[in-house]
Amino acid sequence: MKKRALSALLCLALCFALAGQAAAAEGGVSFTVNGTPLAEDVRSYAEDGTTYVSYGAILFALYPDATAVWANGRAEVAAEGLTMYLKPGAKYIEANGRCLYVPGGVRSEDGVILVPVRTLCQALGAEAVWDSATNTVNITAASGPIVSGDSYYDAEDLDLLSRLIYAESGNQPLEGKIAVGNVVLNRVASPLFPNTVADVIYQPNQFAPAGSGHLSRTPNAESVVAAKLCLDGANTAGNALYFVNPVTSPGSWASRNRPYVATIGAHAFYA
């Protein structure tokens, strides 16, 4: 589990480092795919350190035989080895059963869907390099689309993490669900706690649902999405190892003894 979580974080960090994005946005960004400049203009802009790009031109340059249709309120993409869904307003892209975090949400402007370049590259199995001298994003095909969720996620970890997230934060916003999952995975990675998802969750006197039978409840869809996002490296809780509801647990041990990290929804998180 440690290696898998670390791999996800490294993938996000290495997939695309877009230095100087604000300056690039002012001067206009160009794109190449496998060394060939894209013939058509690609809509893009930088916001809070993230470059959004219209996905279509890059998709079809990498996968000429791809299809993209609008159905069920989202763009549904199919290509060899790839199934991808992009829903405006959603805070993630779904690709081959994986969920990739988009904190600012998938955008739609004048009927054009825009997503963060590095997230799109991860889904499409591409590598991207920013050339600051020419304001160009150079995108190169790698070994194929993103590995499927069935292969990437440990099924037992995903199921148990989804159930814990649902039991602890099923009524919380997506960011809060992710944060609860982060606490579990942070503990897995910490020498202070057991080193598997199951052992962390079932450690005595840690997570109330583990002892109350509430983990038997089927998680809702967003709790499963949150678990996938966590396993793919999404993090909203930093290095938090504890969380409490300050309304139902005022003066908790964590609030008195551990560094405060953030409050997300109904929960306060501590490292």
Q: How far apart are CA 95 and CA 256, in angstroms?
A: 42
pLDDT at 132: 87
Helix 2-15 × helix 117-124 angle, to 10°: 120
Output the 3-class SS for 64-124: CCCEEEEECCEEEEEECCEEEEECCCCCEEEECCEEEECCCCCEEECCEEEEEHHHHHHHH
pLDDT tens for each residue of the chain, 271 residues long: 544 443 443 343 333 333 333 333 334 788 999 999 987 678 898 888 888 999 999 999 999 999 999 999 999 999 999 999 999 999 999 999 999 999 999 999 999 999 999 999 999 999 988 898 988 899 999 889 999 999 999 999 999 999 999 999 999 999 999 999 999 999 999 999 999 999 999 999 999 999 998 999 999 999 999 999 999 999 999 999 999 999 999 999 999 999 999 999 999 999 9
Contact between 139 and 127 (Cβ < 8 Å): yes
Contact between 116 and 106 (Cβ < 8 Å): no
Give the angle subtended at the CA of 193 by the CAs of 188 and 195, to the nearest 5°. 40
Helix 2-15 × helix 221-231 angle, to 10°: 80
Q: How far is CA 86 from CA 99, 101, 250, in A?
A: 11, 12, 41
pLDDT at 49: 81
Phi, psi of 112 (to 5 degrees): -105, 130
Domains in the chain, start-ordered, CATH in brackets?
A: 2-147 (3.30.457.10), 153-270 (1.10.10.2520)
